[in-house]
Amino acid sequence: MNDWHETEIRVRYAETDQMGIVHNSNYLIWFEVGRSEYCRARGFSYKEMEEKENALMVVAESYCRYKSPAYYEDVLTIRTRVEDIRSRSLRFVYEIYRSSDDVLLAEGETLHLVTDENKRVRSFPVSYKEKLMADEIPAANAFPADQAPS
């Protein structure tokens, strides 16, 4: 559907276990980081959609396949994209790579239902759906081509 959005993070000491390997639970947190940054790159935040449209993206399913371990201080790239958008749900897919050697560490997906604040499933707000489906990502802090910053 859309191109991958990439987010870079560095593994913190607190994310590792006694063997110095990243604990498996962190990958789902990193999926959330990738998802949040993907939405920001598309021109909105979860918080904005929740407050303006009373639309929450509730995680209904999550899946992660671990391929290779990550370690303290590794710089990782979280690749995120939307796989499918329906009237009341959407699916994100993820890949996490170690930047130094481009090794795939994990891949996964999350399925989200759109609900209101009372947890009732509702339709995806059209304006946000359009932003997620847009072919081009809006340029952040861009100036018009004929105008220089002051």
Cα distance between residue 23 and residue 26, in whole Å? 6
The side-by-side arrangement of strands in the sheet containing 75-85 is: 5-10, 75-85, 89-98, 103-115, 56-66
46 neighbors 99 (Cβ within 8 angstroms) = no
* Pairwise CA distance, residues 77 & 6, whole Å: 6
Q: Catalogue the active-site residues.
A: 17
Q: How many angstroms separate the Cα of 15 from the Cα of each of 18, 20, 72?
A: 10, 9, 8
Tokens of 78: 């979280």
